[in-house]
Amino acid sequence: MTQWPDLDGLALLTAVAETGSISRAAESVGITQPAASLRLKRLEAALGLTLLERTTSGTRLTPEGAAVVGWATPALDATRELLDGARLLATRRRHHLRVAASLTVAEYLLPAWLSALHASDPDIAVSLHMANSYEVEESFSRRAIDLGFVEGARVPPGLQGRTVARDELVVVVAPDHPWAHRRRPIDAAALARAELVAREPGSGTREVLERALARHGLTLAPAAEMASTTAIKTAVAHGIGVAVVGRAAIARELSEGRLVEVPVTDLDLRRSIRAVWPRGTSLSPAGRRLLASLRPPGAPRP
């Protein structure tokens, strides 16, 4: 492997060329004269050249030293440009956060979370991409996001995460649906037989429901699939089947009587909502600020 020359030594050598003195060059870069002399000797040894000669009037470059300064100047300029660019990118990373969130999180939870972040640090700009949980996972492989929020029973492979909220799925029907007036809860088998309006494959909501039914040896066979929780709620409110959606997404419709919750006896439909990011990496400063602004699950409200 090529042994690269000491960039600090080259910068010191160019300072000697500009000032005509090792002592003044040392002062310009913030080191002592003995340290500067030692650094220049090491540079000469590394290059196998005599770069400087001392005269009664000071220190001057040898022809070889002048040639090295000529070659080093554009390299040092390019290095400064690289460092300036890296600092700029680091600053942007500290103040810009690219987030992808599953639809339930993006529509019903993130607005309040982002409001808290803005109150604590208004300089952070957030770009939000809404997708299902599978698509959030895929966004990391393209390095398109810094932080994701997903629903489901597991941390996706290749990612690490932290639970930031908990939710449960509820069965809902229109007020004139026969189940709206049941006195007894339905069971898993009855739900599996129903005309279900479900989320598309890849959705965290669908994954939780499929896993809950599978524990009873049942499979999900939707009558219709939709990629939007809002579309599902609207369809069910108009009498199209039965839906299983997150309680956070259905709270208003339940309180206003536009939909009715149907109790279920033997299904565990609880789920965790997690912040996720690539395993083995650290969050950006902006990502850490967002997570720090979230209230941990089970913590009392301020």
For the record, the structure tokens of 300 come out as 């009392």
Fold of 7-93: Arc Repressor Mutant, subunit A (1.10.10)
> Over 80: is that where the pLDDT of 81 sits?
no
From the number of C-beta atoms within 10 Å of its C-beta (0-12, 13-18, 19+), residue 224 rates as: middle
Taking alpha carbons only, the member of 263, 290, 156, 134 closest to residue 203 is 134
State yes or no: pLDDT of 114 exceeds 70.
yes
Closest CA to 203 of 100, 99, 103, 98: 103
Side-chain half-sphere exposure of 103, counting CA atoms within 13 A = 20
Say whether pTM exceeds 0.85: no
Do the beta carbons of residue 266 and residue 86 sit within 8 Å? Answer: no
Residue 302's pLDDT band (cuts 50, 70, 90): very low
Q: Hey, where are the domains in the chain?
A: 7-93, 102-292
Residue 299 has pLDDT above 50, yes or no: no
192 pLDDT exceeds 80?
A: yes
**Cα 35 from Cα 13, distance rounded (Å):** 13
Which pLDDT does position 1 carry in this prediction?
35
CA atoms within 13 A on the CB side of 41: 6
Q: Which fold has domain 102-292?
A: D-Maltodextrin-Binding Protein; domain 2 (3.40.190)
